[in-house]
Chain A
């Protein structure tokens, strides 16, 4: 048996464990970052279980969204075989973070659903009038994306300096890289409870997108 065969054997083992231990999750696979949980992206239902420790003796703690995941990832089970970037929706929502050769798979727990928009303006020749960022003049680059957004640090005082203002918190975000759509610094992220964030750092790697963002405290959409 070659390395690939061993890889598939390992996946078979995880799939078997998931069948015994897991709960049902619905698996969504989207080619674009636009409403990946749309009905049309549903591949099917399969058992899965997450843990942060193979001894089954540790539970998760606040501040960590990355879990090991036991799920069927065998090529022979395709298309109902977990791939990087797939979303799993059950009691919680996850996306598959890694599926590295012969390695256990990991998943990220999602706690918000966001849209990402990019401030825009006309750059045609001639007088284009007043230019300022407003959501209606922005371009939507992602929509309805479940993400992990966890606290980073308190940040600086809000520019608006209202008596009731607070610091503008910094957040760490993880999300899958779907369809190769680029996130740029300066893009605006709006979550499902109306909080607005400005992307200040955009790391793109095999793990998808890892971002830091500044919350804009007075811009409750």
Chain B
């Protein structure tokens, strides 16, 4: 799920990328060492930063929030793991190939009836073929090849795992990006690149694979010069981020869409 803390982390990293566009080995856009943090600075440490003529950027979620949940709970596919096994059909044979790993299942669909074998730790290609053949009437396995007799329809699938997620809620919260500097020039040279970067990259990818949308806002107090006596020249930027709280679950891929039925003809 995308949590508030994760949104905060992504914004903080984006701010860091904006003021260090060429990496930490090159100077920041303000020309002074700049610390970028989530949360608020420790007071003795901000003194240390500013008295050294350096700068600090802090990113913090404000209390301005609105719930904008209005979506159906529809699963969105996040990842499907690539199966390492293969099951290849040729005439009336299935050949098991690839590399053995778990969790995987191999399914043979013989005359429209599915037979599935879940790969166990320690299995080999040959043992998978043997175990699957044991499930299928009239099938024999030699090495990694299964031969089936009396077959008019044959298919084989490898079933793998994946994740999918759906939204539980969606919210918009205003985040405050505060630039702590010792001169208006440093402040400007930090605020402007961040503002441009946040407006260019307004779709942010969150750890759950969902996007957050960054809306530009205007801070009611962009400059705080009344703290100059503390040698603090402060600049505030505000952005509203819409993001979803999601739940991610593990799934198996579908091997066959037809359920096996045991048909019993009972004439009474």
Interface residues of A, Cβ cutoff 8 Å to B: 118-133, 184, 186
Contact = CB atoms under 8 A, between A and B. Distances in A.
Contact of A128 (B5, B28, B35, B40): B35
Contacts of B56: 123
Contacts of A120: 42, 44-45
Nearest to B55: A125
Contact of B37 (A119, A121, A133, A186): A121
B12 interface: yes
B16 A131 contact: no
Given A123-B56, A129-B37, A130-B5, A118 B44 contact: yes
Interface string B48-81: 1100001010100000000000000000000000
A131 B40 CA distance: 6
Contacts of A132: 39-40
B160 interface: no
A127 B16 contact: yes
24 contacts: A120-B42, A120-B44, A121-B41, A121-B42, A121-B45, A122-B35, A123-B54, A125-B28, A125-B33, A125-B34, A126-B16, A126-B35, A127-B12, A128-B36, A130-B5, A130-B9, A130-B38, A130-B39, A131-B37, A131-B39, A131-B41, A131-B58, A132-B39, A133-B42
B35 A125 contact: yes
Q: Is the interface of A mostly helix, strand, loop or mixed?
A: loop
A186 B43 contact: yes
A138 to B, nearest CB: 9
A129 B42 contact: no
Contacts, number: 65
A121 to B, nearest CB: 5
Interface string B11-28: 011011000100010001
Contact of B35 (A123, A133, A184, A186): A123
B109 interface: no
Contact of B8 (A118, A126, A130): A130
A184 B47 CA distance: 12
Nearest to A133: B42
Residue among A118, A120, A126, A129 with max Cβ neighbours from chain B (10 Å): A126
A49 to B, nearest CB: 42
Which 3 pairs from chain A and chain B are nearest by CB? A127-B16, A130-B38, A125-B33
A97 B15 CA distance: 52
Residue among B16, B45, B48 with max Cβ neighbours from chain A (10 Å): B45
Contacts of B12: 127, 129
Contacts of B20: 125-126
Contacts of A118: 44
A128 B42 contact: no
Given A120-B45, A123-B45, A186-B43, A131 B38 contact: yes
